[in-house]
Structure 1
Amino acid sequence: MTGALEAVRARRSWSKVTDEAPTHIELLTLVSAAGRVADHSSLRPWRLIELRGADRERLAQAIAKAEGDKSPSSKPMRAPLLIAVVASYRKSEKVPRWEQEAVASGVAHVLSLLLDEAGWGVIWRTGRYTRSKPVAKAHGLEKNEELLGWLYVGGKPVRSRPGRRKGVEARRHVSRMPRAKKQD
């Protein structure tokens, strides 16, 4: 099998990461590759927002506002780099909204695999505030856009034992189409 299969099998979410992060140039290289996901009509209905330093502090304030808290949220400070995943819907007769969101999600997932394979710890985080006005405003979202969540990226900490996600019991998720019923 290929290296892609091994990369997918080795992937795991890293809820805790170190203060190291890929550079902007390293990120652009990986995004260029991730953007090759299946994309009906090549609409490219997505964009990514890179949040570092003070950007994370602005997000912390926006989350607090969305949650009705007085103190900034500590969530955006859990990683040195956050990558906001935005579905940027395009008008199309052929490609429905759900399919465009699937493309944006696909880019995020492939990017998370590429980051992991490059040695970075990654976890995709969401929350009810992803669709809130204060958070959308902080990200500069347009009317045709929705925030799907953030990839939190940082260095992989040293572990005493490696964590592995259990494999999927594929037979439970793959079936055949039902047979056609005989017509009377």
Structure 2
Amino acid sequence: MSAVFDAISSRRSYSAVTKDAPGRAELLTLVRAAARAADHGALRPWRLIELRGDDRVALGTALAASAGLEGTAAAKLAGKPLRASLLLAVVASRQPSEKVPHWEQDATAAGVAHLLSLLLEDAGWGAMWRTGGHTRSEPVRRLHGLAETEELLGWLYVGGIPDNAKPAVRPPIDPAAHLTPLPA
């Protein structure tokens, strides 16, 4: 098969990454390539927000606030964004269009995020797309400066691949169960 087939077939999420992370210049190159995702109408209905350093602490605070937690429970939730040195918030930035509905624009944003995760892995970085019940909460929306036409789809947690990373374990699917003909 091809290198693309091999890359997709071996794709995995890295729930733990090292503190290393790609720099901005490398990210810009990868984002440029990820922008080739299918995009009906070429609306570019997405954007990414780069969170590093104290931005991750602010996100943790917003997550804890959205949950209404205090004490140890708040600290545990607030610590989750510190699992990676770089978080990339994936934002569906819906554009006005009579031809392209919002759901299709959201699919484009998700496509960009998925391509970016593949490109990051190809460049030697580990990534995991994380969401959660507080992803679309008001404190988290405010922190990310989202417009009314935008929705946060989650974050790519990005870092170095640990030396002790185990191979991805995902049972193979029966493709015939997922590729069906149109019902009669």
Above 0.5 in TM-score?
Answer: yes
Alignment of 1:47-126 (within 5 A): 47-70=47-70, 71-72=74-75, 73-126=78-131
Describe the SS at the equivalent of 2:114. helix
The answer on whether the counterparts of 2:13 and 2:168 sit within 8 Å (CA) in structure 1 is no
Describe the SS at the equivalent of 2:135. helix
State the match for 2:3 in structure 1.
3
Q: TM-score normalised to the size of structure 2?
A: 0.94
Describe the SS at the equivalent of 1:128. coil
- How many Å separate the matches in 2 of 1:132 and 1:108? 21
> How far did 1:57 drift?
0.7
> How far did 1:161 drift?
4.6
The answer on whether the counterparts of 1:10 and 1:164 sit within 8 Å (CA) in structure 2 is no
- How many Å separate the matches in 1 of 2:107 and 2:2? 25
Describe the SS at the equivalent of 2:91. strand
> How far did 1:8 drift?
0.6
Amino acid at match of 1:35: A
For 1:149-178, what per-residue CA distance to the aligned partner results, in whole angstroms no more than 9, with x for missing partners? 000000100127523433322111001112
Q: TM-score normalised to the size of structure 1?
A: 0.94
> How far did 1:112 drift?
0.4
Describe the SS at the equivalent of 1:129. coil
The structure 1 segments of at least 4 consecutive aligned residues displaced by more than 6 Å after TM superposition are none
Match status 1:175 vs 2:180: yes
Q: Note the aligned Cα RMSD (angstroms).
A: 1.2
- How many Å separate the matches in 2 of 1:159 and 1:78? 16
Instruction: Say which of 156, 170, 175 aligns to 2:161.
Output: 156
The answer on whether the counterparts of 1:125 and 1:151 sit within 8 Å (CA) in structure 2 is yes
Percent of aligned pairs sharing the same letter: 56
> How far did 1:26 drift?
0.6
The structure with the largest alpha-carbon Rg is 1
For 1:96-147, what per-residue CA distance to the aligned partner results, in whole angstroms no more than 9, with x for missing partners? 0100000000000000011011111110000111110000000010111000
- How many Å separate the matches in 2 of 1:119 and 1:95? 35
Extract unaligned runs of 5+ from structure 2: none
Instruction: Say which of 134, 148, 152 aligns to 2:139.
Output: 134
- How many Å separate the matches in 1 of 2:82 and 2:55? 10
Aligned residues: 179
State the match for 1:20 in structure 2.
20
- How many Å separate the matches in 2 of 1:3 and 1:167? 20
- How many Å separate the matches in 2 of 1:89 and 1:166? 35
1:161/1:92 Cα in 2 relative to 1: closer, same or farther (>3 Å)? closer
Describe the SS at the equivalent of 2:134. helix
